[in-house]
Amino acid sequence: MSDPSPPRKRRTAGRITLNDVARQVGVSALTVSRFFNHPERVSEELRQRIGEAVSALGYVPNLVAGSLASARSRIVGMVIPNISGPIFASTIQGFSDTLARHGYQLLLASSYFSPEQEESAVRAFLGWSPAALVVTSHFHSEGTEKLLAETDIPVVEIWDYQPERAPIQVGFLHYDAGVMAARHLLERGYRRIAFVQNSAAGDFSALDRRDGCAATLRDAGLELWSFAPSAGSAPFEAGREAMERLMQETHRPDAILFANDNLAAGGLLAAQHMGLRIPGDCAVMGFGDYAFAEMLLPSLSTIRPPSLGIGETAALRVLESLGVIATEVPVQRLNRLECQLVEREST
């Protein structure tokens, strides 16, 4: 024992550490740590000298070590059904940018609507002890629910607005979007209004929109004409088929509300082929305000969901929960955003 075995091999990869900077300046490591995390607690003079040493040495703080020591990190995890696609991209963008502005990083994963993939992403994210977690409101697996319930970091659910659920909610009501569309069509004088949705796979949110639309018409003493084109054809084809079929009816509609812009685009094309004037012979409206909506001929009236706003609002609520930005306490738990009516030529 008086013979100390040869010192273990250092594993460090020669990386520059806080201590290197501290030694260079002639202060303790903690002072340098404070330079980064609480600069106001370091005297002006030291701040100056430390700043110089940091850039001279090219020191990059090891956030992993910092997070371990402080049990906090500046990472926020987000699980979203998919990254590309017209729907969620700008939510991610808004979220990421708002976070970045406050020095937080985004850890991102896509679930493709699979509860299992979502759970594994949530589990992995939790391992990073993130500052907060954002999931897309949707059916969660039991495991996910449990993980989210047990953690004590802020959890935000986005996109669907479900006031009965526990965590912070940021979303909108598809029902409202239906109401908004119906009001617009009524205002323009249309009376025989049809709703077209793809009969294929369960787009439940489309049903909410239809209900909102139907209720509004009912209040005006009208009935919504609901139509679902035959098979699981692509949305574009389905829209075309719907337009053709509806226009052959004896009492054909004077306006069609499509469940989304893809369907509406198909409808528009079919109308062109048939030589119909839009909106003269029949008005057309969509939902989503996809990028192409304004490029169609005629340009498509539609409802724009608050995609970007959801991302930004979610980020704000997260930052407020963390105390990074001020808020009139407490953090607003329910955040119901509004869709936006985009009036173009097709109505």
Partner DNA sequence: ACCTCTTATGTCAGCGCTAACATCACCAGT
Partner DNA sequence: ACTGGTGATGTTAGCGCTGACATAAGAGGT
Could you tell me if residue 24 is left (phi over 0), alpha (psi between -120 and 50 degrees) or otherwise beta?
alpha
Nearest approach, Cβ of 117 to DNA (angstroms)? 23
Query: Would you say 15 or 251 has its CB closer to its own copies?
Result: 15
Say which DSSP state 203 is in.
-
Residue 43: contacted member of its own copies, DNA, none (CB under 5 to 8 Å, by partner type): DNA
204-205-207-208 Cα dihedral, nearest 10 degrees: 130
Q: Which of 57, 63, 274, 334 binds its own copies (CB under 8 A)?
A: 63
Question: What is the identity of the amino acid at 287?
Answer: F
Q: Does 201 engage in binding with its own copies (CB under 8 A)?
A: no
Task: Lay out the site mask for DNA across 30-69 (x = CB under 7 A, - = otherwise).
Answer: xx-xx-xx--xxxx-xx--------------xx--xx-xx
Q: Which of 1, 2, 3, 10 binds DNA (CB under 7 A)?
A: 10
**Burial grade of 248 (CB within 10 A; 0-12, 13-18, 19 or more):** exposed
Query: Would you say 193 or 242 has its CB closer to its own copies?
Result: 242
Nearest approach, Cβ of 69 to DNA (angstroms)? 3
Q: Does 28 engage in binding with DNA (CB under 7 A)?
A: yes
Evaluated on CA atoms 209, 215, 217, 220, the torsion sign reads negative
Q: Which residue in 191, 249, 196 sits closest to 221, CA to CA?
A: 191
Query: Would you say 15 or 38 has its CB closer to its own copies?
Result: 15
Q: How far apart are CA 154 and CA 148, in angstroms?
A: 9
Residue 7: contacted member of DNA, its own copies, none (CB under 5 to 8 Å, by partner type): DNA
* Distant-in-sequence, close-in-space partners of 108: CB < 8 Å, separation ≥ 6: 77, 78, 80, 83, 92, 96
Q: How far apart are CA 264 and CA 285, in angstroms?
A: 7
Residue with tokens 């407490």: 330
Query: Would you say 13 or 326 has its CB closer to DNA?
Result: 13
Task: Lay out the site mask for its own copies across 43-62 (x = CB under 8 A, - = otherwise).
Answer: ---------------x-xxx
Say which DSSP state 182 is in.
H
Q: How far apart are CA 257 and CA 328, in angstroms?
A: 41
Q: Does 128 engage in binding with its own copies (CB under 8 A)?
A: yes
Task: Lay out the site mask for its own copies across 286-305 (x = CB under 8 A, - = otherwise).
Answer: ----xxx-xxxx--------
Q: Are strands 75-80 and 132-136 parallel, antiparallel or unpaired?
A: parallel
Q: Which tokens in the block code for residue 4?
A: 């100390």
Query: Would you say 11 or 38 has its CB closer to its own copies?
Result: 11
Q: Which of 23, 29, 93, 227 binds its own copies (CB under 8 A)?
A: 93
| Contact window for its own copies (CB under 8 A) among 40-48, 79-87, 177-185, 333-341 | 79-87
Evaluated on CA atoms 159, 341, 302, 195, the torsion sign reads positive
For its own copies, the binding residues (CB under 8 A) are 11-13, 58, 60-65, 67-68, 71, 73, 75, 82-86, 89-90, 92-93, 96-97, 100, 103, 105-110, 117, 121, 123-129, 146-147, 150, 152, 236, 262, 265-266, 269, 272, 290-292, 294-297
For DNA, the binding residues (CB under 7 A) are 5, 7-13, 15, 17-19, 26-31, 33-34, 36-37, 40-43, 45-46, 61-62, 65-66, 68-72
